[in-house]
Amino acid sequence: MAEPLIELRGVSKAFGNTVVLDQVDLTIYQGDAVAVIGPSGTGKSTVLRLIAGLLEPDSGEIYLKGQRREGLTDEGRDSVGVGMVFQQAALFDSLTVDENVGFLLYQHSKLPANAIHELVNRNLEMVGLSGIGDRYPAQLSGGMRQRVSFARAIMKNPENPADNPEVLLYDEPTAGLDPIASTVIEDLIRTLQCAEDGCTSYVIVTHQHSTIRRTANRVIFLYQGKVQWQGPVNDIETTNNPIVRQFFAGSVEGPIHIVST
Ligand code: ADP
């Protein structure tokens, strides 16, 4: 097995009196393509925010390449040097789509504006949104905004490949998209994983069957604060785990309690 890239050891997190994660152990390996799945409200996004360094655990430890992370992260580059991008980050309302997608390059690279503009256009085209660079987020539908934030997350810096993220964190990247737009994003997630300069890792939170199937090699199932099951994506068909079986059958009968969220 590849090297552990990210490890959560005994991580707990509560909001008020609600314990969302209860001593969770979870490992992401170099080159991993993992889907974190489970019913709504079980802490999947919380896991991503902890990994991204946007939240701190109440107890337990987070290791990146074997080094313990202390504190929160600064602009996606972790103190121990693991570049991460969190796709769900909000767009800046006062900036155009072009300025949002190219944000990091406009801020931190020496590339001329027209070169950044070209990279932005290429990414917009990849997510099926050519020609909307001049619009503002408020002028877009929810699904379009989501794809713009995706286009921003996958922006690479050709000037300095060392700045390119090693880990992409996707929070429901296909939620609310129609089936064709979903397929575009799912195929992109796959193709983006490996480029000339090597393979990255990603963790994806999703509910959508097609997204689990098309993007994940491995699945981690969270429920009631714990990892209830994990295994290769094909094993979700054959596992006897009653929680996993109920979830994929969409059944109201079984160990998962129906809650109104
Ligand atoms: P999931 O992604 O599995 O749907 P989340 O990680 O978003 O679940 O949330 C898990 C639970 O924690 C939910 O009950 C949610 O309301 C709560 N929660 C998440 N973030 C916060 C926060 N910043 N403040 C208060 N409660 C939160």
- List of residues 6+ apart from 12 with CB closer than 8 A: 19, 21, 22, 23, 24, 57, 58, 59, 60, 225
Q: What is the pLDDT of residues 167-216, one digit of tens each?
A: 889 999 898 889 998 998 899 899 888 877 677 889 999 988 899 999 99
What confidence score (pLDDT) does residue 58 get? Answer: 96
Q: Name the closest-CA residue to atom 19, ligand 1.
A: 46
What confidence score (pLDDT) does residue 53 get? Answer: 87
Question: What domain range includes position 119?
Answer: 6-71+78-249
What confidence score (pLDDT) does residue 225 get? Answer: 94
What confidence score (pLDDT) does residue 224 get? Answer: 93
255 falls within a domain: no
Task: From the CA of 39, give the closest atom in ligand 1.
Answer: 3
Please indicate whether residue 15, judged by its CB atom, sits closer than 6 Å to ligand 1.
Answer: yes
53 falls within a domain: yes
Distance from the CA of 47 to the center of ligand 1, in angstroms? 10
Distance from the CA of 41 to the center of ligand 1, in angstroms? 6
Distance from the CA of 255 to the center of ligand 1, in angstroms? 21
Give the residue among 101, 106, 83 at the shortest CA–CA distance from 164: 83
Q: What is the pLDDT of residues 57-76, one digit of tens each?
A: 999 999 998 889 887 776 55
Return the best residue to mutate from 11, 19, 24, 45 for the ligand 1 pocket (most ligand atoms within 8 A of CB). 45
What confidence score (pLDDT) does residue 162 get? Answer: 72
141 falls within a domain: yes
259 falls within a domain: no
140 falls within a domain: yes
Mean pLDDT over residues 207-231, rounded?
A: 94
261 falls within a domain: no
| Global pTM value | 0.88
Angle 142-153/179-193 helices, nearest 10 degrees? Answer: 10
Say how far apart CA 226 and CA 216 lie, in whole Å. 20
What confidence score (pLDDT) does residue 54 get? Answer: 86
Please indicate whether residue 42, judged by its CB atom, sits closer than 6 Å to ligand 1.
Answer: yes
Q: Name the closest-CA residue to atom 24, ligand 1.
A: 15
**DSSP strands (E only) in 78-120:** 84-86
In this structure, what are the phi and psi dihedrals at residue 61, rounded to the nearest 5 degrees? -130, 150
Say how far apart CA 244 and CA 128 lie, in whole Å. 33
- Identify the residue with better confidence: 152 or 83: 152
Please indicate whether residue 35, judged by its CB atom, sits closer than 6 Å to ligand 1.
Answer: no
Q: Indicate which CATH number applies to the domain containing 164.
A: 3.40.50.300
Give the residue among 85, 86, 103 at the shortest CA–CA distance from 95: 103
Say how far apart CA 34 and CA 189 lie, in whole Å. 12
Name the domain count of the chain.
1
What confidence score (pLDDT) does residue 164 get? Answer: 76
Mean pLDDT over residues 145-160, rounded?
A: 87
Distance from the CA of 85 to the center of ligand 1, in angstroms? 20
Q: The tokens 């993992």 sit on which residue? A: 34
Task: From the CA of 43, give the closest atom in ligand 1.
Answer: 6
Please indicate whether residue 66, judged by its CB atom, sits closer than 6 Å to ligand 1.
Answer: no
Task: From the CA of 48, give the closest atom in ligand 1.
Answer: 6
Distance from the CA of 103 to the center of ligand 1, in angstroms? 28
175 falls within a domain: yes
In this structure, what are the phi and psi dihedrals at residue 193, rounded to the nearest 5 degrees? -60, -40
1 falls within a domain: no
Q: What is the mean pLDDT of the chain?
A: 89
Per-position b or e across 61-96, b if 16+ CB within 10 A of its CB: ebbbeeeebeeebeebebeeebbbbbbbbebeeeeb
Say how far apart CA 106 and CA 116 lie, in whole Å. 7
Please indicate whether residue 206, judged by its CB atom, sits closer than 6 Å to ligand 1.
Answer: no
User: Quick check: helix, strand or coil at residue 205?
Assistant: strand
Q: Name the closest-CA residue to atom 22, ligand 1.
A: 15
- Identify the residue with better confidence: 50 or 83: 50
